Amino acid sequence: MSEDKSRHHAAEQQTADVSEAQIAVHWPEEDYFSPSNQFIAQANLADPGVFARFSLDNFPEYFKEFADLLDWYKYWETTFDASHPPFWRWFVGGRINACYNCVDRHLPRYRNKTAIHFVPEPENEAIQHLTYQELFVRVNEFAALLRDFGGLKAGDRVTLHMPMVAELPITMLACARLGVIHSQVFSGFSGKACGDRVSDSGSRLLITMDAYSRAGELIDHKQKADTAVMEAAGTGHQVDKVLIWQRYPGKYSSPTKLVEGRDVIINDVLKEFRGKRVEPVQMPAEAPLFLMYTSGTTGRPKGCQHSTGGYLAYVTWTSKYIQDIHPEDVYWCMADIGWITGHSYIVYGPLALAASSVVYEGVPMYPDAGRPWRIAENLDVNIFHTSPTAIRALRRNGPDEPAKYNFHFKHMTTVGEPIEPEVWKWYHTVVGKGEAVIVDTWWQTENGGFLCSTVPAIHKMKPGSTGPAIPGIHPVIYDDEGTELPGGSGRAGNICIRNPWPGSFQTIWKDPDRYVSQYYSRYCHDPASKDWRDWPYMAGDGAVQAADGYYRILGRIDDVINVAGHRLGTKEIESAALLVPDVAEAAVVPVADPIKGKVPDLYVSLKPGLVPSVKLANKVTASVVSQIGAIARPRRVVIVPDMPKTRSGKIMRRVLAAISNHQDPGDVSTLANPEIVEQIKELAR
């Protein structure tokens, strides 16, 4: 058995009687790795004094340093307003425009510098290098179109369902220029999932693209817009216009017909706006910049509302000091802009710093596992950012590929899920060629930017641990009773953040109660308190803190499955299964996967008298894919005669999870139907 496998095995054996939060990571403590002197010498932040400056005693004024990285039309009066906990307000009274800060302000010095390198997936298509001047021109023209043709004004919402193309940041920045709130939905999500988000956000306009390239195929993307509009209409929400970018300008690349009076080809209409300029709208710091939907404990996705001033200040500071971005760097984050990582660390953070940011259309492994390293060599990328899932896949499929290409990263990031020390070491030695520092950044859609990470020129790295908190963030781990679990206690608990920070979301769109109950109620002892100290933010992750202060994140404590670093709600998957009329009950559980970290296994029981069949199982899978998207595709659908249940009728997902992961389900004698466990084991074999 390889070392890898035996570790895996050891982890599995300990898991029968611990909660889901605790099973994720059972790696031994690792030795430290140090950043090179060369890295430290050029780093934006190497002064350990930063932590004293950002001590809680200096809260909230220390966050002024974040906002001072931006250009303001009007300086704020109040750094932090806590008068309506936990609805914090930052930089109150300030006026700012996010697009201005990411584009216009760089023109005097950097107009001829590349802002965006767009790398098409087909390798024979040329890479496009968009300078800051070109970005400025294209953003202005499109902003004029959105305003004068689309009728959009500050405060309106617009849904984007766009692939990884240069037109996506252009669209986001054009919205930001007008103060229009964008809500970009991951292009891999289904038309139905997009439609729900269109409706929830109240978008009258949907912006999409006709087609894009993925794994060697030109995918018809426009068809999803038709489904989305229909789905939204089903909820009583009307979409007036669908604006469609052409993947190949001048040519419509989708077999799906245009709907007269509703569908508009952007590239045609844009001609009327050539040379148009739009003054950036001077927005209040507190105006929402965008919505980002994410999965949570109950069925409906939550629209996390992010602010303009606080959010932009936070992602700019963390990009500068944690990712060590200088204007002369070429920075590549391989995430999708459809997730929060892409918003913060492909678009807003890097562009606010005048970096050159790479936007890659396709999958990392296309056409082979050498592709990312060819791109890195070609563009001379020196900062790289990706997820453990991508690293595992590249390691498995092309462990020797990085050595064949001449690229040198000074800095690499990992994000989204815990990274196994073995995988971390491959990343460090083979991808980083032993030269690059690595930051393992822990945070969430709700948070806007990094919460925990090493500061790369100050801290040593420890594989498998995210590191301490970043300057200005003060975490605490509570047990279920609210007792603090100090570093080195060896006990896992719920990780919370003691203090508010400017990057945090402002609320859940149209659902402020859920914002309070899900993130702040648990450890707040006095709901009437106006003191921010009484309102710790609960992240929903289990964690332990080692004696050296480094945190290790163990996984979600709620009904969320982290598949390949992407959050999927168990309720969303289960409701998709229940749409198949034959299905009586559905339960989804996470299964350990060597590449994706976790994948969903779906158990269903049928209505009385119905007979299980492969066809039916396939129907359930198809329903999940069409409701949510291919990302949620169950590893398998197991049709069972009945679910394991407690005497009160609750489905015991823990038992199903043990079966799926080939673990001992433990004592099942207290179940209402203990005999079912053996039957399910047989079926799931």
Q: How far is the CB of 542 from ligand WTA (least distance, A)?
A: 9
294 forms part of the interface with ligand WTA (CB under 6 A): yes
Give me the 390-429 binding string for ligand WTA, x by CB under 6 A, dash otherwise: -------------------------xxxx-----------
- Rounded (5°) CA angle 639-641-642: 105
Q: How far is the CB of 476 from ligand WTA (least distance, A)?
A: 16
Among 101, 213, 562, 661, binds ligand WTA (CB under 6 A): 562
386 forms part of the interface with ligand WTA (CB under 6 A): no
Query: Which tokens is 110 given?
Result: 């950097």
389 forms part of the interface with ligand WTA (CB under 6 A): no
Among 443, 505, 550, 603, binds ligand WTA (CB under 6 A): 443
Q: How far is the CB of 198 from ligand WTA (least distance, A)?
A: 21
* Segment interacting with ligand WTA (CB under 6 A) among 118-126, 469-477, 528-536, 562-570: 562-570
**C-alpha–C-alpha distance, residues 49 and 80, integer Å:** 23
Among 97, 208, 444, 454, binds ligand WTA (CB under 6 A): 444
User: CA–CA distance from 566 to each of 182, 228, 412, 499 (Å)?
Assistant: 20, 21, 20, 26
Which residue, 219 or 557, has its beta carbon nearer to ligand WTA?
557
Number of shown-chain residues binding ligand WTA (CB under 6 A): 24
Q: How far is the CB of 211 from ligand WTA (least distance, A)?
A: 26
Query: Residues 6 or more apart from 580 whose CB is under 8 A from it?
Result: 616, 619, 620, 623
**C-alpha–C-alpha distance, residues 589 and 561, integer Å:** 8
Among 157, 161, 567, 654, binds ligand WTA (CB under 6 A): 567
Name residue 33's beta-bridge partners.
Answer: 461
**C-alpha–C-alpha distance, residues 106 and 100, integer Å:** 9
Which residue in this structure is represented by tokens 């906990």?
85
Which residue, 187 or 445, has its beta carbon nearer to ligand WTA?
445
Which residue, 169 or 540, has its beta carbon nearer to ligand WTA?
540
Which residue in this structure is represented by tokens 């919505």?
291
Which residue in this structure is represented by tokens 């802002």?
115
Which residue, 473 or 586, has its beta carbon nearer to ligand WTA?
473
**C-alpha–C-alpha distance, residues 386 and 412, integer Å:** 8
Q: How far is the CB of 669 from ligand WTA (least distance, A)?
A: 33
Query: Which tokens is 11 given?
Result: 């982890």
* Segment interacting with ligand WTA (CB under 6 A) among 1-9, 141-149, 171-179, 533-541: 533-541
Which residue in this structure is represented by tokens 């899920």?
417
Name residue 385's beta-bridge partners.
Answer: 333, 413
* Segment interacting with ligand WTA (CB under 6 A) among 84-92, 117-125, 310-318, 555-563: 555-563
Q: How far is the CB of 372 from ligand WTA (least distance, A)?
A: 20
Is it true that the peptide bond before 471 is cis, omega within 30 degrees of 0? Answer: no
Q: How far is the CB of 294 from ligand WTA (least distance, A)?
A: 5
Q: How far is the CB of 495 from ligand WTA (least distance, A)?
A: 9
Specify the 3-state DSSP secondary structure of 302.
strand
440 forms part of the interface with ligand WTA (CB under 6 A): yes
User: CA–CA distance from 581 to each of 49, 357, 476 (Å)?
Assistant: 62, 47, 46
- Cα within 13 Å of Cα(220), Cβ side: 9
314 forms part of the interface with ligand WTA (CB under 6 A): no
Which residue, 132 or 424, has its beta carbon nearer to ligand WTA?
424
Q: How far is the CB of 453 from ligand WTA (least distance, A)?
A: 8
Which residue, 190 or 444, has its beta carbon nearer to ligand WTA?
444
* Segment interacting with ligand WTA (CB under 6 A) among 274-282, 499-507, 551-559, 624-632: 551-559
Which residue, 264 or 419, has its beta carbon nearer to ligand WTA?
419
Instruction: Indicate the helix (H) or strand (E) that contains 304.
Output: strand 302-307
**C-alpha–C-alpha distance, residues 625 and 606, integer Å:** 20
Q: How far is the CB of 335 from ligand WTA (least distance, A)?
A: 9
Instruction: Indicate the helix (H) or strand (E) that contains 545.
Output: strand 537-545
100 forms part of the interface with ligand WTA (CB under 6 A): no
Q: How far is the CB of 556 from ligand WTA (least distance, A)?
A: 5
Query: Which tokens is 318 given?
Result: 């963390």
Query: Which tokens is 75 given?
Result: 């300086």
Which residue, 402 or 467, has its beta carbon nearer to ligand WTA?
467
441 forms part of the interface with ligand WTA (CB under 6 A): yes
Query: Which tokens is 7 given?
Result: 């570790």
Give me the 445-484 binding string for ligand WTA, x by CB under 6 A, dash otherwise: x--------------------x------------------
Do residues 273 and 145 lie in contact, with contact meaning Cβ atoms separated by under 8 Å? yes
* Segment interacting with ligand WTA (CB under 6 A) among 180-188, 318-326, 561-569, 625-633: 561-569
Residue nearest to ligand WTA (CB): 445
Task: Of 183, 192, 193, give the one whose Cα is nearest residue 158.
Answer: 183
| Gyration radius of the chain's alpha carbons | 25
Query: Which tokens is 453 given?
Result: 């990470």
Which residue, 20 or 196, has its beta carbon nearer to ligand WTA?
20
556 forms part of the interface with ligand WTA (CB under 6 A): yes
Q: Which residues in the 5-64 window bind ligand WTA by CB under 6 A?
A: none
Among 141, 263, 541, 559, binds ligand WTA (CB under 6 A): 541
Which residue, 338 or 500, has its beta carbon nearer to ligand WTA?
338
Q: How far is the CB of 521 from ligand WTA (least distance, A)?
A: 18
Do residues 190 and 225 lie in contact, with contact meaning Cβ atoms separated by under 8 Å? no
Do residues 138 and 169 lie in contact, with contact meaning Cβ atoms separated by under 8 Å? no
**C-alpha–C-alpha distance, residues 630 and 377, integer Å:** 31
Query: Which tokens is 326 given?
Result: 């200088």
What's the length of the chain? 685
Name residue 265's beta-bridge partners.
Answer: 244
Query: Residues 6 or more apart from 377 whose CB is under 8 A from it?
Result: 405, 406, 407
Q: Are strands 217-220 and 211-214 parallel, antiparallel or unpaired?
A: antiparallel
Q: How far is the CB of 608 from ligand WTA (least distance, A)?
A: 39
Do residues 439 and 485 lie in contact, with contact meaning Cβ atoms separated by under 8 Å? no
**C-alpha–C-alpha distance, residues 429 and 456, integer Å:** 17
Specify the 3-state DSSP secondary structure of 136.
helix
| Residue type at position 517 | S
* Segment interacting with ligand WTA (CB under 6 A) among 147-155, 228-236, 333-341, 582-590: 333-341
Which residue, 386 or 444, has its beta carbon nearer to ligand WTA?
444
* Segment interacting with ligand WTA (CB under 6 A) among 471-479, 519-527, 553-561, 597-605: 553-561
Which residue, 281 or 304, has its beta carbon nearer to ligand WTA?
304
**C-alpha–C-alpha distance, residues 67 and 316, integer Å:** 9
Q: How far is the CB of 25 from ligand WTA (least distance, A)?
A: 8
200 forms part of the interface with ligand WTA (CB under 6 A): no
Do residues 390 and 362 lie in contact, with contact meaning Cβ atoms separated by under 8 Å? no
- Contact positions toward ligand WTA, by CB under 6 A? 294, 339-341, 415-418, 440-445, 466, 539-541, 553, 555-556, 562, 566-567
